[in-house]
Amino acid sequence: MLEVLVTILILTVGMLGLAALQGKAHTSELESYQRGQALILLQDISSRMENNTGAAASYVTAASGLGTGATDAAVCTTLATRAAIDLCEWSKALKGSSEKKGTTKQGAMIDGRGCVATSGTNAYLISVVWQGLNTTAAPATACGKDLYDSETTRRAVTMTVRVPDLAGS
C-alpha cells in the first residue's frame, strides 16, 4: 500500500513538472512569435524608406513612436506624400491590422510601437518595441521608453538604414 502511495506521489510531481514546462513553452512560443512579427515590420519600413530615398528624412518619428497610441488616418492612401502613406500603413500594421479575429486586431505584437530616428548623416535608426512577458535587460533604444509596464519587459529590435545621397554632394 505504501509503495502505491509513493508511486502516486512521484507521478503527481512529474505531471506538475510537465504542466509547468508546457506553460514555459507557451510563453516562449509567444515571445518568439512577437519577435518574428517585429522583424517583419522592421524590414517593411526599411524597404519603404529605401524605395523613397529622396524623402528619407520625412520618416523620422517621435520617441513615443507610431502604432499603439498613435492616431492614424482612416484611409492612408488619401495622405499627401508617399512617406506619410508609408508611416500610416506601418502604424496600422504595428497595431495588428494585418490579421483580425472578428473586429479585434491581433496580427502583431502586444502594444507594438515603431520609431525612426536620425543616426548620423543619411543614417536612420529604426526601432520596433513591444510588451514582453518575462523580465530581461532593458533595451537601449529610446523608442517607447517609459510607456510599458516595466523597462525590463519592454522588448526591442533595431536596424540602422543608410540612405545614399543621390544629389552627389
Domain ranges for the chain, please list them: 2-162
Assign 155 to helix, strand or coil: strand
Average pLDDT of the chain?
Answer: 87
Strand partners, 85: none
Q: What is the DSSP letter of 148?
A: S
Reported pTM: 0.81
Nearest to 115 by CA among 35, 32, 49: 49
The identity of residue 118, as a single letter, is T
Cα–Cα distance, 161 to 163 (Å, whole number)? 6
Summarised one tens digit per residue, pLDDT across range 59-76 is 998 888 888 877 888 888
Q: What is the DSSP letter of 105?
A: E
| CA distances (Å), origin 129, targets 51, 60, 68 | 23, 16, 10
Residue 133 is predicted with a pLDDT of 86
Place of cell 535587460: 137
Residue 70 is predicted with a pLDDT of 78
Q: Where are the alpha helices (DSSP H) in the chain?
A: 2-50, 82-94
Assign 54 to helix, strand or coil: helix
- Name the grid cell of 90: 506601418
